[in-house]
Amino acid sequence: MLLDGYACTAAAAVLHAIDRHALDHCRVAHRSAEPGHRRLLEAIGHRPLLDMDMRLGEGSAAALAVPILKAAAACHNGMATFASAGVSGKV
């Protein structure tokens, strides 16, 4: 789940206050230019994927973050293991 923006993060912070693991499955799309957003992210212990001083509020950062997450998952899932790559020991 992507949290996109200050208002969304503030709403999710209520869950974090109830259970500090409630947002473990979430990622933050971006850090808003809103002054309180940085403090809120620190309070819930999340780092944003993007920090571009955006303040649009229409889910635009999530639209930018989704391809980044897809690329990261593809790299992780497509990476060879040492065994499949034929790496047998230290060089």
Kindly name the residue from 58, 75, 77, 80 that is annotated as catalytic. Answer: 58
Sequence-ordered list of residues with C-beta below 8 angstroms from that of 68, at least 6 positions apart, any chain: 49, 50
Burial class of residue 53 in the structure, from the number of CB atoms within 10 Å of its CB (0-12 exposed, 13-18 middle, 19+ buried): exposed
- Judge whether 34 counts as a catalytic residue: no
- Catalytic residues, by residue number, are 58
